Structure 1
Amino acid sequence: MNGDLQRLNAHLAAAKPSATYRMIDRVAEHRAAGAKVISLSAGEPDFDTPTHVREAAIAAIQAGHTRYTQVAGMRALREAVAQKYRRENGLAVSWQDTIVCSGGKQVLYNALAATLNEGDEVIIPAPYWVSYPEMVQLTGATPVIVHCGETDGFKLTPRALADAITPRTRWLILNSPSNPTGAVYSAGELRALADVLLDHPHVLVLSDDIYEHLIFDGAAFHTMAQVEPRLGERTLTMNGVSKAYAMTGWRIGFGTGPRWLLDAMEKLQSQQTSGACSISQHAALAALNGPQQFVGDTRAVFERRRDAMVRMLNETPGLRCAPPAGAFYAFASCEGLMGRTTRAGTRLNTDEDVALALLGEAGVAVVQGSAFGLGPYIRIAYALDDRSLVQACEAIRDFCSATRP
């Protein structure tokens, strides 16, 4: 076939596919071949969507709410989103200051695609969610990776932020609680970062708060525009219903920020997907406005699972894991396995070697930390039932114990 016919957009050609979805594909391949695999690779709550939310979706279908909505979302849902930001985050916003998209990922991508040009830079603390650098790359801008090690709690320091900012910096991306580490920024830590940002008025802030309700040990959640209102006019605060309400497949994300930015995002979305699914919007409306007990109940389950997971991982030879403060991921160091050989004869030189060997030899799927910008670690999602988590940890322990120098 003519090579010119297969020529891709240069930015897409240079981008990498999602490492998490690649592992999910590998799990499917192993299961199709008859292997039993416990997958700890997907960032997805294992609970069913709350009953009242599902019932609201069914009622919306029966009522005929199956037509297009406004591009930026139904007004009723945008009102609920604004009320959520006022009630939970102390942000003085109205429905006009919001946008609804087909998932939180679209909120992020729309913001970046609407504002970035070639030569622009985006500061991304590492470890990072795998899609951040690739989204930036797709726009032609440059991701600037700032490594945030375990000694700093996997969090960006004011000094590191100041050193990374240049005249070309367009955005800083912050994710708290973090995927993949579960790190949470305190109000004081955000305050210190805000002090740096106030000296650089050309830098926008993208606050990814999708794991907001999954914070443990009684800690409070804080977001940048709340801590420093003077940054509100250059901060996009993103959230959604996927993690808090077990609604990953419903694909509803939302955000609030300056209207010039929201207008640009809406313009882009009008030529891309138009409004999000009408039935999903009605379901999200029920989630935001309905009973909230589900959120607290599931947070308690995840906290209990976290404690058990961290204990079992720290009892495993070659692994070390600090307790995550939020989300549902354990980011475990596998440095102690480097250079060792598995029972099947696999030499473990990288964290990807560990992840692939765990899948092939132990039947447990995790994702290598280097895919998130920092190795040698493995990301383990404990969004699975207790029995499966115990079985997975036992398999991991047996695998690690059997390695030899």
Structure 2
Amino acid sequence: MEADAPGPFAFPAHSGCGRRDLLLAGLAGAAGLLGLGGCRSAPREKPPGAAAGPGRAEVEALLEARSRAVLEHDAARFLATVHSDEPGFRARQEELFTALSRLPFAMWREHVTQVEGPLATLRLAYRYRGFDTGDVVLTTYLELGRADGGWLFTGDGGDKEDAPESWADPDVRAVRGESCLVVGRGPLEQVADRLDRCVPAVTAVVGSGWARRAVALLPGDADRAEALAGGRPLEGIAAAPTATPNADGSRGQDRILVSPEGWPRLNALGRRVVLTHELTHVAMGSAGDDRTPMWLVEGFADHVAYRDTGTPPAAAARELAEEVARGELPGGLPSRADFATGAPRLSQAYQEAWLACRMVAGRYGEDRLLRLYREAGRRSEREALHEVLGVTDLTGPWRAYLREELG
């Protein structure tokens, strides 16, 4: 996830109570963020005669056969591009094809971007049927060797790592709900069922002008989660939205990343709040938004998530309530830095943002809260506040609201 993207739904590790405890089934903290990656072959001695390498046209012909095989579920055609003298690599390719055959691709296409000796650098573009409106574009690598006067694939890229994706797990599968696709391992049906029920809740606030569908990824373990997250430390993260930029520089497709360790520890309320929060980010196109103030991005998502739960503010914002009870009111609305992973008052930043948006919705109406969000993505925060609410600063009213709700 980019630094400027909306933050993950996190449960900061500390000894206090609050939103974290409210959403967890027990006192154990959720950890991990979805990620998927695969093993690679070690660099190996190149086959005799491979140094010169194949031509681009020869590699493209093999890739065309592979692409057609994936879309037509033709294992024989796919494996016909793999050298029979490389049993380890061939076994991994068989696992790869099996994994790919379980996923609903509307499009899958590999192209050559560069050939250096036996190593081909590829661009892989794919779309999930019924969900992706644009391509997801990744960089991958394959090695080639001679076979009967031609060329076949003989290995991975060695020390060149493919961009991580769900099919790197041979046990991957996909579950389609009414409004969602969930890819990965584990309780996919549970996630799909909950997402389907979240879509109407999000639409009730943001309107019907969004796709009203989403793709969620749930890996089998934390290591795969960390791989997809680019190797970042991910303790305390329950879920996160992402739209990773494509390898060709275009915008990627929205995904909801679900923690494989956190999901089983969430209670029913936690699952509802977490997925509604992340789905709101998808509906608002928040991933990669570096203009809208973060208190609006995160506070609005929490407003939608908690809207119909009946949860009292003092219960969902326990950490902030404890501070207010001690007379420790925040000096201003949380900044973007306050939402950074590992920030000392991360939980309170979410709570402050949520209550700011809850106050706006209560006093001005949800329609104006939604308009404020959109205007703040096009102009300065001060200008947006003046245009939509007729004020230039919410600090005073918001601090008074905190005293009323939490004092």
Q: TM tier, shorter chain?
A: under 0.3
Which structure has the greater CA radius of gyration? 2
How does the TM-score come out when normalised to structure 2?
0.27
How does the TM-score come out when normalised to structure 1?
0.27
Judging by fraction of residues, say which structure has more helix: 1
